[in-house]
Amino acid sequence: MSAVIEIEGLRKTFHSLRNGRRVAVDGFDLLVETGQIHGFLGPNGSGKTTTLRALLGLVRADSGRMAVLGEPSPQLLPRVAGRVGAIVESPQFFGNFTGHRTLRLLARAGGVPTSRVDEVLELVGLHDRGDERVKAYSLGMKQRLAVASALLKDPQLLILDEPANGLDPAGIREMRDLMRSLAAAGVTVLVSSHILAEIQLICDHVTIISRGRRVAAGRVDEVLAGHDRHEFLVRVAEPERAAELLRAAELTATVDGGTLVVGGATDATVISKLLGEQGLWVGELTPLRPDLESVFLELTGAGQPWVPRQVDDSALPPGGQGDAVIDLERGVDA
Amino acid sequence: MNLVRAELERLFARRFVQLMVVLLALAFAVTAATTLAGSHKPSAAELSSARAQATEARQSMETHFQQCLARRNGTLPPSDSELYFPTDCSEIDPIRQDRLPIAADFLPGVFSFAQQAEPLLYFLIAFLVLFGFLVGASYIGADLNSGGVVNLLLWRPRRMTVLGAKLGTLLGTVLALAVAASLVYLATFWVIGQTAGLAGRLSGDFWRSLGAVHGRGMVLVLLASALGFAIATLGRHTSAALGAVAAYAVVWELGGRLVLEIVDAPRPDQLMLSSYIGAWLTGEARFYDSQICRGDTAGGGYCEGFYSLTWAPSLLVLLLLTGGLTAAAFAVFRRRDLI
Ligand SMILES: Nc1ncnc2c1ncn2[C@@H]1O[C@H](COP(=O)(O)OP(=O)(O)O)[C@@H](O)[C@H]1O
Ligand SMILES: [Mg+2]
């Protein structure tokens, strides 16, 4: 598998008179390989958009190495730009143009046959509204137009920054289907989002960013597996007695109402055998699988309800271990 | 080439550009209509009377000159001794005057193309300079602000090419519009002169001088467009260009001039951009400075106290300013973070 996007040690600091220095991206790494639908996940202000802007040559990185489709970026980006479709933070379009004309102008500037315009309008479901002015579009329609503009080039690599913004549930589902069909057609997709369910549903790989740094990366199931504490939810008639039995067998067990959370067991059969031998029949035995949301909240430290969460500080992981990059896909990242 | 075509469509789709074109047409129509309404073709009687008056005026100038010479020679009859004469009679020598009275001067309510073409052209050039500046500034300013430039750069990640195509399209369009507008404008007034007024003496000299003003005006229009474009690019905003010009005019042309006068600095006009614009457009501008004659009076020689700026150094100043700002705009745009 070849790398489509490589980012190593990307740093970007913004300087402004009013706010002084702000480190938006702080030594970030990202690897996207051919054919992936790669989720780029992080809370607001964690540096997703800045990373994509730097990758696409819109902002100058302080340091770091980047490559797109094998060409160093931004130096040789023009060589591959024709094969990369991108939207970065809901793009603004000129309100007086119709959707159709907006795309036609871009197609012309990029040397794409204008016949492609109708095709992409169809793809994003704007075909019937293509002749209306962009300023009359709803937020979701503008977002669709943006995606259409990224698709115009028939790209090998599609970079979408929060494409679900402003879309209704049906729109989000259509966007998802669109991404899947593109991926099936061989397009590599990098999609940023702060919405976890979104990423979990469509992405096969994920990179989690927090405070400008990578905190997790790899296949979605492996990232989840890395956070699997191998706990089981157990329902038995006498939870207190069951807990004692399990603890005696060097397992952890916490009683929570009528159920038990058991940790340390490699296999569910261990638990059912232990309890069954003592005449305690197990009514329910469910492995507790982590979902991306819990992993995300754990990694980005956003899950403490008693601390009012601040946009920019949200990413400080609890327990002070936040600065260590957790490499979950050792084969690729180690 | 495709980029330029796309830019051309973008430029003409701008509301502001459309508005300015409408304003141009409107100003043009109003001037032409009022001129037409206030002018009539002189009758043969009017013409011959005007010719007579002009001849008479020229003759009286000649007589006055002769009397001056006569007084110098002491042959002036006593009856004319109360008349005023300059010390140097050549000052009123008709041959040395810039222009002599002609028939058109004695035809009230008659539009004379030969006489009016130049001032009319200056008016149009002033409008076109404003037009070029505003269109240049708003074209890039609005695009930088609306994210249009970012969209385009995602397509063509070559900043210099994209900005260059924009500037080139702007200058080409403004020049084409300005040339077309001024030609139609002059042609219209020429027709008015022919049909409802007086054509006047349209000699080769007249056309040459009008052509020179026209050519210099077109250069000025281009410079103004590039300047508006450059300042708006540097300031990321249309209003940056407007603000910069307003600030310059108030702070330097007005305030600075006042301060220079108070401290009695020599030749303050030489430090004003407006002087160079005037000098470039008219070929030469003369400015008064009292200090020129200081120390000169001791010699007893005559001192006028004027100095002049000619077109060549003026063009250099204007080119350096515009070129410098444009180069700066490109240099800054090359490295800037586009958000
Ligand atoms: N132009 C800018 N000037 C100053 N700070 C900026 C600028 N753009 C982004 N930032 C800061 O950089 C951080 C990352 O922003 P961004 O990349 O937009 O986050 P995300 O896309 O993940 O929500 C934020 O703290 C934001 O305030
Ligand atoms: Mg963002």
Is residue B99 within a helix (H) or strand (E), and if so which, with residue range? Answer: none
Same-domain check for residues A275 and A167: no
Identify the closest residue of chain B to A152 by CA–CA distance.
Answer: B155
Q: Check pocket membership of A193 for ligand 1, CB cut-off 6 A.
A: no
A56 class by beta-carbon count within 10 Å (0-12 exposed, 13-18 middle, 19+ buried): buried
Same-domain check for residues A281 and A323: no
Task: Summarize the confidence of residues A54-81 as an average pLDDT.
Answer: 94
Q: Check pocket membership of A44 for ligand 1, CB cut-off 6 A.
A: yes
Tally of CB atoms within 10 A around B67: 19
Interface probe, candidates B9, B15, B155, B335, chain A, greatest A C-beta count within 10 A: B155
| The pair of three-digit structure tokens given for residue A252, joined into one six-digit string | 């952890």
Higher pLDDT, B36 or A30: A30
Find out whether B216 and B135 touch, Cβ atoms under 8 Å: no
Chain B touched by A96 (CB under 8 Å):
yes
3-state secondary structure string across B281-320: HHCEEEEECHHHHCCCHHHCCCCCCEEEEEHHHHHHHHHH
The C-alpha angle A166, A169, A175, rounded to 5 degrees, equals 75
Contact A81 B155 (CB under 8 A): yes
Positive/negative CA dihedral, B262, B267, B271, B272: positive
What residue spans define the domains of chain B?
Answer: 2-42+107-335
Of A208-222, B6-20, B305-319, give the lowest mean pLDDT range: B6-20
Beta strands in B80-203 (DSSP E): none
The whole domain housing A159 covers: 3-225+293-333
Best probe residue, ligand 1, of A50, A60, A162, A191 (max atoms within 8 Å of C-beta):
A50
CA A22 / ligand 1 centre spacing (Å): 8
Same-domain check for residues A139 and A36: yes
Of A50-54, A66-70, A228-232, give the lowest mean pLDDT range: A228-232
Number of domains in chain A: 2
B272 class by beta-carbon count within 10 Å (0-12 exposed, 13-18 middle, 19+ buried): middle
Same-domain check for residues A253 and A309: no
Identify the closest residue of chain B to A12 by CA–CA distance.
Answer: B337
* CATH (domain of A183): 3.40.50.300
Q: CB contacts < 8 Å between A and B, how many?
A: 74
| The predicted structure's pLDDT at residue B54 | 86
**Full-prediction pTM beyond 0.90?**
no
Same-domain check for residues A258 and A198: no
Which of B210, B25, B249, B179 is closest to B117 using CA atoms? B210
Q: pLDDT tens digits for B98-141?
A: 777 887 787 777 888 888 899 999 999 999 999 999 999 999 99
ipTM at complex level? 0.76
Same-domain check for residues A78 and A91: yes
CA A24 / ligand 1 centre spacing (Å): 6
Q: pLDDT tens digits for A292-304?
A: 777 777 777 665 5
Percent of chain A with pLDDT over 90: 41
Same-domain check for residues A142 and A273: no
CA atoms within a 13 Å half-sphere pointing along the CA-CB vector of B314: 24
**Residue A320 scores a pLDDT above 60:** no
Angle between helix B15-37 and helix B2-13 axes, rounded to 10 deg: 60
Q: Categorize the per-residue pLDDT at A219 as very low, low, confident or very high, splitting at 50, 70 and 90.
A: very high
CA A159 / ligand 2 centre spacing (Å): 13
Which of A76, A74, A67, A122 is closest to A99 using CA atoms? A122
Of A24-33, A75-84, A102-111, B80-89, give the lowest mean pLDDT range: B80-89
Of B10, B146, B154, the CB nearest to A105: B10
Same-domain check for residues A298 and A237: no
CA A53 / ligand 2 centre spacing (Å): 10
Sheet with A188-193, side-by-side order of all strands? A84-87, A157-161, A188-193, A37-41, A205-210, A213-219
Same-domain check for residues A219 and A143: yes
Contact B9 A105 (CB under 8 A): yes
The C-alpha angle B36, B37, B40, rounded to 5 degrees, equals 75
**Residue B331 scores a pLDDT above 50:** yes
**Residue A323 scores a pLDDT above 50:** no
Please give all residues whose CB falls under 5 A of ion ligand 2, grouped by chain where several chains appear: A 49
Dihedral, CA atoms, A309, A312, A313, A316, nearest 10 degrees? 110
Same-domain check for residues A249 and A114: no
Q: pLDDT tens digits for B264-319?
A: 888 888 889 999 999 999 988 888 887 777 765 555 556 777 888 999 999 999 99
Q: pLDDT tens digits for B21-35?
A: 899 899 889 988 998
B59 class by beta-carbon count within 10 Å (0-12 exposed, 13-18 middle, 19+ buried): exposed
Q: Please tell me the number of the ligand nearest to residue A15's CA.
A: 1
Is residue B108 within a helix (H) or strand (E), and if so which, with residue range? Answer: none
Q: pLDDT tens digits for B188-224?
A: 999 998 888 887 778 889 999 999 999 999 999 999 9
Return the SS3 of A8: strand
* CATH (domain of A241): 3.30.70
Same-domain check for residues A247 and A218: no
Tell me the range of A68-77, A241-250, B89-98 where mean pLDDT is highest: A68-77
Interatomic CA distance for residues A307 and A226, integer angstroms: 27
Same-domain check for residues A119 and A248: no
